[in-house]
Amino acid sequence: MSKLVCYFTKAYSTGSASSPLSAATIERRTPTATDVQIQILYCGVCHSDLHFARNEWAFTQYPAVPGHEIVGRVTAVGSGVKKFKVGETVGVGCLVDSCRTCPDCRSGLEQFCAGMVMTYGSMDEHLNAPTLGGYAQSIVVTEDFVLRIPANLNLASAAPLLCAGITTYSPMRHWKVGPGQKVGIVGLGGLGHMGVKFARAFGAHVVLFTTSPNKVADAKRLGAHEVVVSTDADQMAAQAGSFDFILDAVSATHDINAYLNLLKHDGNLVLVGAPEKPLPVAAFPLLFRRRSLSGSLIGGLPETQEMLDFCGTHNITSDVEMIRMDQINDAYERMLKSDVKYRFVIDMATLT
Amino acid sequence: MSKLVCYFTKAYSTGSASSPLSAATIERRTPTATDVQIQILYCGVCHSDLHFARNEWAFTQYPAVPGHEIVGRVTAVGSGVKKFKVGETVGVGCLVDSCRTCPDCRSGLEQFCAGMVMTYGSMDEHLNAPTLGGYAQSIVVTEDFVLRIPANLNLASAAPLLCAGITTYSPMRHWKVGPGQKVGIVGLGGLGHMGVKFARAFGAHVVLFTTSPNKVADAKRLGAHEVVVSTDADQMAAQAGSFDFILDAVSATHDINAYLNLLKHDGNLVLVGAPEKPLPVAAFPLLFRRRSLSGSLIGGLPETQEMLDFCGTHNITSDVEMIRMDQINDAYERMLKSDVKYRFVIDMATLT
């Protein structure tokens, strides 16, 4: 595809796996007929941003701009754009395009499309260049991958819904979490705290598992009916065989079998964190109770809009800690120590 | 419960984890009002028998009698027995009783009942003694745990249906294997060869995975549409992301992630073999395609009868190799080398 006219916007980028992020100027394509140009107001900070910036998944091309929890205001629309107008408040998540024609795309499961274009780390065919994420003043996205943000939500607190929100909402919808069920959430971080809020809103009995006794009170404030300190063997044993569904939001190495044993028969444990090393899984807890260990990653565009609308109806947002753009490198270090309640969000007005 | 009157029957038992099996005389309870007494004609040899005889699961009490793939003829019935008459051909599988009152029992999922009584290695409350399995001339079982064998099936070849049959039938029914699906079966042994037959009968496109190039022709004879030699990286790569369902019947250590990567999104890999050591499971193949790793173990009584009736309709039995009772120790050694096509069955007339 020929190279389009482009414009420049300020951003925070990194030039190598070992460099800090710093101010830079990047290219965006000028909006095509079907594009929406967005002034970015807030961008959430996902652990994936850090993995990507530091090339921990070994596919990063530099210079790299992370950020896929984007909330902003429409500043321009292409001539063919039907769904959005200048001035509207919108969001962009982990995907900015897909093939549009495969069965997955036609089913609204763009996250499985072999041609999916991620917000950062994919190829932007318009520019023949890697896609660059939301740590920037503006972004241009095809309208079908732009989402509406319900008017009643705080915009900064809504930003993490675009990744942490859909990542926890989607598996609970897929596996039909609802009233009468006992649901476990493992880990109280950016993902886990959203998991607690959604599981509670879906009507389940919610049990939060944490290694930190000092998180008990906050977990209950967020909606957990019970909190189990997972290092306490007696507390764990008391929960054996009682869960319909467990959402495991822990990326650090941990004993997955201890949680598999907490499931009822036909129960499902779903990983949404991504531990780097393979997890040793014992066959017997799976066999004897027909349990399942699954994984889930974000969601498709229709379900992401559904999640945002659900959040509007139920007034759900993330608990966030606002940072300036120039605090991002410190924020990464704090995130590595789980020192955030529960998601950093960059106020993009501070990128000047 | 008070000790009932009992009778004696010949059997093959072992007195320790390191002893061979040898002829012995054991006690059976005389039939109560709801019991069926069965002359055992054939008993299949399951790998579990060997694990149990050698105390490899650390719960064996000695003397121990293995055997839970039992086919025989009714020789006596209690006064209250309604479903069976003397002379009928019947089967007994891995379970001989359960609590009858829990939600699982009421749903016909006796395999999940906390009070389930296994054919060997559980407690027989009638005798206050461990249950003893089917390597014997007769057995007494409550009528609700006795199954009908369709008249058209060869009795010796039907015996392995009681464990290997239901173990492979149940998960494929539970996860709705059927026409239009691509189904993989990993391993061509006692379980795997039944998996191939059932998957084919259910209308799926069946692919057998084996490490043995010399099993290719036989797998096709048994019903596989394709056979993949799993040590051939090119053959494996050609199957990536194409399976709806994979039944993994391998107990030996093997790379489960190689098979997870063969699943489509939302596909399921179900373990029916029981590897002793934990399997290292990589999170990414699960996350990126919402795949599941599950386990399954036998089935409930209603489903076991359904499976037998299905086998009658479709004329499905196991491929068996008949042995005399006194060949059982050699058969175990051959089983350890996978040197059997595909299930040993003991002709109990040779136990004299």
For A104: left if phi > 0, alpha if psi spans -120 to 50, otherwise beta; the answer is: alpha
Is residue A260 domain-shared with residue A287, that is, in the same domain? Answer: yes
Query: Does pLDDT of B171 surpass 80?
Result: yes
How far, in Å, are A245, A247, A278 from residue B279 at the CA level? 22, 21, 9
Q: Give the pLDDT confidence score for residue B1 in this predicted structure.
A: 44
Same domain, B16 and B107: yes
- Tell me what percent of the residues of chain B surpass a pLDDT of 90: 94
- The answer to whether residue B274 sits within a structural domain is yes
Q: What percent of chain B has pLDDT over 70?
A: 99
What distance in Å separates the CA atoms of residue A50 and residue A52, rounded to the nearest whole number? 5
Same domain, A102 and A142: yes
Instruction: Verify that B243 and B192 share a domain, yes or no.
Output: yes
Helix A301-314 vs helix A164-174: crossing angle, to nearest 10:
100
Q: Do the Cβ atoms of B292 and A268 come within 8 Å? A: yes
The mean of the pLDDT values for chain B is 96
- Give alpha helix (H) positions in chain A: 47-53, 103-106, 155-158, 164-174, 190-201, 216-222, 233-237, 256-260, 283-287, 301-314, 328-336
* Residues of chain B neighbouring A249 (CB-CB closer than 8 A): none
Task: Out of A136-140, A185-189, B1-5, pick the least confident.
Answer: B1-5
pLDDT, tens digit, 9 for 90 and up, residues B29-69: 999 999 999 999 999 999 999 999 999 989 999 999 999 99
Q: Is the pLDDT assigned to residue A168 strictly greater than 50?
A: yes
Q: What percent of chain A has pLDDT over 70?
A: 99
Token pair of A278, please? Answer: 């393979």
A89-133 pLDDT, tens digit each: 999 999 999 999 999 999 999 999 999 999 999 999 888 999 999
Q: The tokens of B153 are what?
A: 């099936």
A149 within a domain of the structure (yes/no): yes
Residue A324 has pLDDT above 90, yes or no: yes
Say yes or no: A273 and A323 in one domain: no
- Which pLDDT band, with edges at 50, 70 and 90, does A251 fall under? confident
User: Is B284 in contact with A265 (Cβ distance < 8 A)?
Assistant: no
- The pLDDT confidence band at residue A1, using thresholds 50, 70 and 90, is very low
* pLDDT of A153 over the 50 cut: yes
Asked if B132 and B30 sit in the same domain, the reply is: yes
A vs B: CB pairs below 8 A: 102
Task: Tell me the C-alpha to C-alpha distance, in Å, between residue A236 and each of A208, A225, A257.
Answer: 12, 16, 12
Q: CB A240: neighbour CB atoms within 10 A?
A: 12
A179 vs chain B: nearest CA distance in angstroms? 19
| Residues A281 and A203 placed together within one structural domain of the fold | yes
Nearest to B132 by CA among B297, B276, B8: B8
Asked if residue B85 has pLDDT above 60, the reply is yes
Same domain, A18 and A124: yes
Cα-flanking dihedrals φ and ψ of residue A224, to 5°? Answer: -70, 135
- Cα A235 to chain centroid, rounded: 30
CATH number of the domain that residue B173 is part of:
3.40.50.720
Same-domain status, B157 and B305: yes
pLDDT of residue A252: 86
Shared domain for A91 and A223, answered yes or no, is no
Across residues A260-271, what is the average pLDDT?
98
Distance of CA B326 to the CA centre of its chain: 22
pLDDT confidence of residue B274? 82
Burial of B33 (0-12, 13-18, 19+ CB in 10 A): exposed
- pLDDT of amino acid B276: 81
Q: What pLDDT is attached to residue B4?
A: 64
Q: What is the Cα–Cα distance from A280 to A261, expressed in whole angstroms?
A: 14
Q: What values do phi and psi take at A99, rounded to 5? A: -70, -25
Let me know if residue B196 belongs to a domain: yes
Residue B1 lies in a domain: no
Taking an 8 Å cut-off on Cβ atoms, the answer to whether A290 and B294 are in contact is yes
Residue B136 lies inside a defined structural domain of this protein: yes
**Pair B257, B282: CB distance under 8 Å:** yes
Structural domains in chain A (count) = 2
Mean pLDDT of A182-207: 98
Q: Which of A109, A275, A286 is facing B295, going by the closest CB pair? A: A286
Give the nearest partner residue to B274 out of A281, A284, A290, using CB atoms.
A284
Classify residue A85 as exposed, middle or buried by CB count within 10 Å of its CB (0-12, 13-18, 19+): exposed
Residue of B nearest to A109 (CA): B265
Per-residue pLDDT at B240 exceeds 50? yes
**DSSP state string for B310-339:** HHHHHT----EEEEEGGGHHHHHHHHHTT-
Contacts of A271 in chain B (CB under 8 A): 283, 286-287
Q: Domain boundary residue among A295, A322, A337?
A: A295
* C-alpha to C-alpha distance for B288 and B277, rounded to whole angstroms: 26
Instruction: Please state the rounded mean pLDDT for residues B216-224.
Output: 97
User: Is there a contact between A347 and A322 (Cβ–Cβ < 8 Å)?
Assistant: yes
Write the ipTM: 0.94
Residue B322 has pLDDT above 80, yes or no: yes
Give the CATH number of the domain where residue B158 resides: 3.90.180.10
| Distance (Å) from the alpha carbon of A142 to chain B's nearest alpha carbon | 23
pLDDT digits (tens, 9 = 90+) for A275-302: 889 999 999 999 999 999 999 999 999 9
Co-location of A156 and A305 in the same domain = yes
Domain that holds residue B208: 164-295
**DSSP conformation class of A324:** E
Per-residue pLDDT band at A4 (split at 50, 70, 90): low
Structural domain includes residue A195: yes
Residue of B nearest to A292 (CA): B294
Whether residue B100 is contained in a domain is answered as yes
Token pair listed for A352: 């000047």
Q: Does residue A218 carry a pLDDT above 60?
A: yes
Q: Cα(A16)–Cα(A97) distance, rounded to whole angstroms? A: 26
A254: in domain: yes
pTM of the model: 0.95
Residue from the list B109, B291, B297 with its beta carbon closest to the beta carbon of A295: B291
Q: What is the model's pLDDT at position A2?
A: 47
Are residues B231 and B310 located together in one domain of the fold? Answer: no
Name B294's bridge partners.
A292, B270
State yes or no: pLDDT of B2 exceeds 60.
Answer: no
